[in-house]
Amino acid sequence: MHHLDLRRLILLLTITATLLTFANSFHASYQTLHRQLIAQTLEANRAYAAKLAHSTDAFLRAAQQQLAYSAALLPERLDAEVERLKAQTGTFNGVFIVRADGRVQAAAPWGVGLVGSVLQTEGARRALAAREPLISTPYVGLRGHLLVFLSQPIFAPDGRYLGYVGGAIHLGQSDGSLQALLGNHYYQDGSQLYVVDANRHLLHHQEPSRIGEVVSGNPAVEAVLRGEEGSRRVLDGTGIDMLAGYAPVAGTGWGVVAQRPSAATLAALDGLMLEILLAALPFFIPMLVALWWLSKLIVRPLRQLAITARHWEFASAREQIRRVRAWYFEAEQLKLAMLDGLALLHGKLGRLNQENLTDPLTGLTNRRGLQLALERWQAQRRSFAVIAVDIDHFKQVNDSYGHDIGDRVLQHVSRLLGSVSRSSDLVCRGGGEEFTLLLPETSLEGALQVAERLRGLISHAPSPTGSFVTVSAGVAQWPGSAASVEVVLRLADEALYRAKRGGRNRAVVAGQTEVGSEDVPAG
């Protein structure tokens, strides 16, 4: 069965996590921009509706002021006054001066033919009845136009009501002044701008055919007719989702509504998100390359260890494991575990073939066992001290007493070495009269104390020769004395030879002068 390797799994996991994170960020950006566009459009429509409502109110108040000025003049030439009112600002489509009995005294334009007749329009009747400044509700005039009628009463100096001066403003006509004021909404994408009166009749709309139509069921219209200014999302009469802003026209009961389709507002969002996506690609591709490289770096030590594990039985397995650069915790622990496993395996093999690791004369660890211990402790970064020991004048022992006594002297010194060692220490015979002690987690000072205690013990213990023997010792520490284990061992040997040259029966620390000596007891 084929299995995915760790590198592919890491790549799959990181790429999946990256894509999910990117997708989540992309979606969050989309939602944020979506809300911002909606909010900005609603606010823009509200502000636009408020601006037009204010302009419409100002326009109507200015028209009323024009009529009020004329009503106060009571000019003799009424015909000239109505012509002036109509031509002055172009506000009115028709201007009338009417007596208190309802008969027209002057009208502009002259072609209407109304002078002397009694106006029966809704606006004329209301103006006569009200006898106060008035803006009528929209109605259909004599010529079929939907219009709004503004009137200002005329009073004699003695307070008698003389009639009124009035002006008609056409709604929904290209020549209407209000139409010119409101104009078209600033978008040409299905947006709408309309004005409704208190009875929900459309007074202005982009589609002239809808002028006079009653608008019902629109929350924005209902809100503006309650005198509210604001914005909201609504469905228009055709079911289109709209973003509406609205504002009332002060003093008339009218309302201005500006609305834009939500789809038109959000149309640019897709293009904007595509731009964001394209802008992210130059960063996304190098990120994938970096992920590929990092996954390769992470997997490399584990892959090397896994390949070595397949060839566990090879003699080179330990060296191959040691060469693996385990730069993070898990790989390092796995490497150590494999080295310990190999050491355990070798230990079991050693128990089956003990002579491979043990010196047969003294029962101490031999050079091979010493090397295995050094490799394991170095891999574990386990600090240790080294004491190199050599029996002084051992050749003279062999020459004077024979090799049998010499072997017994070696066994005698071996037992004393073991007596001063801890269970965690390693006592080795390197060959001849040379011994090595490895003391884990021991400082130079501590190792020197052990060496001095050992030297004193041996120099005062009767040997198989019937006299006393002495030893010289060199002390070093890893990694304190040197970064390399091999160099530390050499430094310990050099310190031993310095002790020999310094008179023997003494201990010397690597890099320092000799530390003490004792006279050899007689006997």
From 194-198, 247-251, 301-305, 348-352, the region with the lowest mean pLDDT: 348-352
Please tell me whether the overall predicted TM-score, pTM, comes out greater than 0.75 for this model: no
pLDDT digits (tens, 9 = 90+) for 375-412: 888 888 889 999 999 999 999 999 999 999 999 999 99
Give the 3-state secondary structure of residue 247.
strand
The pLDDT of 185-207, averaged and rounded, is 80
**Mean pLDDT over residues 242-255, rounded?**
91
Q: How confident is the model at residue 210, as a pLDDT? A: 82
Region 324-347 average pLDDT? 78
- Mean pLDDT (whole number) for 109-117: 72
Cis peptide before 248 (omega within 30 of 0): no
Region 251-263: mean pLDDT is: 89
| 189 and 264 Cβ atoms separated by less than 8 Å | yes
For the record, the structure tokens of 65 come out as 């002021």
Share of the chain above pLDDT 90, in %: 32
Taking only Cα atoms into account, the Rg of the chain, rounded to an integer number of angstroms, comes to: 55
pLDDT value of position 302 = 78
Q: What's residue 246's pLDDT?
A: 95
Q: Average pLDDT of 336-359?
A: 70
Closest C-alpha to 436, from 400, 481, 385 = 385
Among 85-94, 238-247, 362-371, name the one with the lowest average pLDDT: 85-94
What's the rounded Cα separation, in Å, for the pair 115 and 105? 6
Q: Tell me the residue type at 368.
A: R
Per the model's pLDDT, the better-predicted residue between 179 and 44 turns out to be 44
Distance CA 491, CA 166 (A): 121
In terms of pLDDT, which residue wins out, 481 or 494?
Answer: 494
Q: How far apart are the first and last CA of the chain?
A: 78
More confident residue, 361 or 357: 361
CA distances from 170 to 95, 230, 241, 276 (A): 12, 28, 31, 50
What pLDDT, on the 0 to 100 scale, is given for residue 243? Answer: 92
**Vertex 371: Cα angle to 369 and 372 (nearest 5):** 65
Please give the average per-residue pLDDT across 325-338, as a whole number.
Answer: 81
> What integer pLDDT is reported at residue 349 of this predicted model?
58
Average the pLDDT over 488-492 and give the result.
Answer: 93
Domains of the chain are 1-310 (3.30.450.20), 353-515 (3.30.70.270)
Assess contact for 165 and 79: CB atoms under 8 A.
no
Which pLDDT score is estimated for 231? 93
